[in-house]
């Protein structure tokens, strides 16, 4: 085989493929669910057959035929089994003579014993009872017959025997259940159920052993919990702390671990013993035999034929029925129902009322639209005048606002001007006062006098006179009417007498010794500050 050629030309992006995969998954899921339901239904069916055979014996075919009739008639298997037990108990006495039921059945023409004087099987008696029941003419006779045969519960068996008679008797039903595949060996399912139950019980045994080991702990725990009754929250907390501390101290942890290991080993050994006690070879052989006993090909063909029949039946239903008529009938019924709910009497009245309401609604809408349109037109007519008036009002208000702002700023600047003028006036007055004080201070400066007898520059520490003019600095003798001592700054220039006279004929020019002025101002300010702080 060339494995390289085994490719599947499928595109997973193809929508049809994805839909197909989804459908396949859905089918598989449905099949798994159906298989689970089928297995459950099969075990239920087998269990019912087993219960019937436990009561009446007989073959698997007979039990299947009886249970088929019970299912179809709606009579429960439990009711049937109870009725059969009542019938069996009343057939013969311990000495072999006929009892009440046996005598009643003999009166109705049914012999409960065979040619050898032995009691007939229950399944055979059911067949004879069914034939007799079908031969009776009135329902009262049938009820009386069943009541005398099965006791008070005989009336509950009416539907069963009616169905059995309609099916043609027990033999006909037996053939039908064979064709349906309903004949199974309930013993196999019963054995499987017992084996499964044995496994469950083995697990229960492990649980019981485990619980048995824990029971002393549970009992002690319950006693401890009960000891908290009637205590306050504070007492409970105190007791809880003390008990936990004592409990932890009292545990022999080494022994506890050893016991746990021993118990686990015992459980493991018990499981091993249980596993050895089961004949797994026989169990698996039964499973294999069960699987091999099924003709899977025939089963598949039967299922295929069954589905084909189902689809054929659905096709026949779809094509044969007047489904359009059904739809029309349902539609008419629905319309009439709506008419009844609305109190109109008929659908025609409903349509007429709706048409009238629709016309009225249109009129209301038209009237409303007309009102809206006229209102809009009137509004648009007066809108320009309203807008012009509004603009005029806005313009006036804006102009007033600007004027208010202008006035406000004018007042502000006027106030600022007044403040500045007052401040300057005050400063000038202060300066004039200060200048007067300065002039007075300058006039009070001591003078160095005398045309003759002046101290020499060496003795006075001053520069010599500058009658001839020239640059000078420091203390220097100058004079208009006699010697005058001045303190000249460095770089100062002294004009001689001739130059000074020439200058007298020229416009007066003021020359200020700013260094000296600064020193004088400093002294005067210092003196003023001293006076102020005293």
Residues 424 and 516 in one domain: no
pTM score, two decimals? 0.42
N residues, the chain: 534
pLDDT by residue (tens digit) across 484-521?
Answer: 667 777 767 777 766 666 665 555 454 555 566 667 67
More confident residue, 136 or 24: 136
Q: What percent of the chain has pLDDT over 70?
A: 70
What mean pLDDT is predicted for residues 119-142? 89
Residues 102 and 178 in one domain: yes
Residues 57 and 171 in one domain: yes
Residues 233 and 356 in one domain: no
Does residue 309 lie within any of the structural domains?
no
Q: How far apart, in whole angstroms, are the C-alpha atoms of residue 447 and residue 476?
A: 13
pLDDT by residue (tens digit) across 213-264?
Answer: 788 878 888 888 888 888 888 888 888 888 888 878 888 888 888 888 888 8
In Å, what is the CA distance from 392 to each residue of 218, 235, 244, 261, 378?
99, 89, 94, 106, 22
Of 446, 474, 501, the position where a domain reaches its end is 446
Q: Are 176 and 167 a contacting pair, CB within 8 Å?
A: yes
Does residue 292 lie within any of the structural domains?
no
Does residue 10 lie within any of the structural domains?
no
Residues 21 and 169 in one domain: yes
Residues 47 and 161 in one domain: yes
Residues 47 and 163 in one domain: yes
Q: How far apart, in whole angstroms, are the C-alpha atoms of residue 188 and residue 192?
A: 6
Please list the residues that pair with 492 across neighbouring strands: 472
What mean pLDDT is predicted for residues 39-63? 88
Residues 197 and 172 in one domain: no
For 130, residues 6+ apart whose C-beta sits below 8 A from its C-beta are 161, 164, 165, 169, 170
Residue with tokens 């013969």: 92
Q: Quick check: helix, strand or coil at residue 99?
A: coil
Does residue 302 lie within any of the structural domains?
no
Does residue 417 lie within any of the structural domains?
yes
Q: How far apart, in whole angstroms, are the C-alpha atoms of residue 348 and residue 416?
A: 95
Residues 50 and 159 in one domain: yes
Residues 25 and 156 in one domain: yes
Q: Are strands 484-494 and 470-478 parallel, antiparallel or unpaired?
A: antiparallel
The answer, yes or no, to whether residue 12 has pLDDT greater than 50, is no
How many Cα atoms sit within 13 Å of 431 on the Cβ side?
6
Q: Which of 185-194, 322-331, 373-382: highest mean pLDDT?
A: 322-331
The continuous run of DSSP H or E covering 491 comes out as strand 484-494
Does residue 306 lie within any of the structural domains?
no
Please list the residues that pair with 233 across neighbouring strands: none
In Å, what is the CA distance from 349 to each residue of 164, 328, 333, 353, 361?
56, 19, 15, 6, 18
Residues 165 and 204 in one domain: no
Q: Are 125 and 56 a contacting pair, CB within 8 Å?
A: no
Domain count, the chain: 4
Domain holding 533, by residue range, is: 484-534
Does residue 108 lie within any of the structural domains?
yes
Does residue 269 lie within any of the structural domains?
yes
Residues 208 and 177 in one domain: no
Of 217, 244, 278, the position where a domain reaches its end is 278
Of 262, 278, 294, the position where a domain reaches its end is 278
Question: Which pair of structure tokens corresponds to residue 354?
Answer: 């709706």
């Amino acid at each position: 085989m060339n494995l390289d050629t085994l490719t599947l030309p499928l595109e997973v992006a193809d929508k049809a493929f994805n839909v197909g995969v989804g459908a396949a998954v859905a089918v598989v899921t449905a099949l798994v669910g159906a298989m689970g339901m089928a297995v459950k239904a099969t075990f239920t069916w087998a269990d019912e057959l087993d219960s019937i055979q436990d009561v009446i014996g007989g073959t698997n075919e007979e039990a299947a035929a009886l249970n088929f009739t019970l299912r179809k008639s709606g009579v429960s298997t439990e009711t049937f089994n109870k009725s059969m037990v009542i019938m069996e108990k009343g057939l013969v006495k311990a000495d072999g003579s006929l009892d009440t039921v046996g005598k009643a059945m003999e009166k109705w023409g049914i012999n409960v014993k065979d040619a050898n004087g032995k009691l007939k099987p229950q399944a055979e008696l059911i067949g004879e009872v069914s034939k007799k029941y079908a031969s009776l003419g009135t329902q009262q006779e049938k009820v009386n017959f069943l009541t005398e045969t099965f006791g008070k519960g005989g009336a509950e068996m009416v539907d069963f025997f009616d169905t059995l008679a309609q099916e043609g008797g027990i033999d006909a039903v037996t053939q039908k259940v064979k064709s349906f595949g309903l004949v199974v060996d309930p013993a196999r399912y019963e054995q499987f159920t017992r084996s499964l139950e044995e496994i469950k019980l083995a697990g229960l045994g492990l649980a019981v052993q485990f619980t048995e080991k824990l029971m002393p702990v549970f009992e002690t725990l319950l006693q401890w919990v009960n000891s908290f009754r009637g205590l306050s929250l504070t007492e409970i907390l105190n007791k809880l702390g003390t008990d936990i501390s004592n409990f932890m101290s009292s545990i022999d942890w080494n022994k506890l671990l050893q016991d746990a290991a021993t118990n686990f080993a015992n459980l493991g050994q018990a499981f091993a013993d249980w596993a050895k006690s089961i004949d797994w070879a026989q169990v698996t052989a039964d499973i294999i035999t069960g699987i091999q006993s099924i003709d899977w090909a025939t089963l598949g063909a039967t299922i295929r034929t069954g589905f084909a029949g189902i689809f054929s039946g659905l096709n026949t239903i779809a094509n044969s029925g007047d489904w359009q008529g059904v739809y029309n009938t349902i539609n008419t019924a629905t319309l009439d129902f709506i008419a009844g709910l609305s109190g109109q009497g008929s659908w025609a009245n409903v349509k007429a009322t709706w048409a009238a309401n629709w016309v009225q609604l249109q009129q209301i809408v038209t009237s409303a639209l007309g009102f809206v349109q006229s209102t809009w037109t009137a509004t648009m007519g007066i809108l320009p005048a309203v807008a012009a008036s509004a603009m005029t009002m806005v313009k006036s208000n804006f102009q007033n606002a600007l004027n208010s702002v202008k006035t406000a700023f004018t007042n502000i600047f006027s106030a600022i001007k007044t403040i500045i003028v007052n401040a300057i006036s005050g400063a000038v007055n202060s300066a004039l006062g200060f200048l007067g004080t300065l002039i007075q201070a300058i006039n009070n400066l001591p003078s160095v006098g005398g045309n003759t007898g002046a101290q020499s520059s060496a003795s006075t520490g001053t520069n010599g006179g500058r009658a001839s003019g020239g640059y000078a600095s420091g203390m220097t003798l100058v004079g208009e009417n006699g010697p005058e001592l001045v303190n000249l700054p460095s770089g100062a220039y002294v004009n001689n007498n001739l130059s000074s006279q020439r200058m007298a004929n020229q416009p007066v020019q003021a020359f200020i010794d700013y260094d000296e002025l600064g020193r004088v101002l400093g002294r005067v300010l210092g003196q003023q500050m001293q006076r102020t702080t005293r």
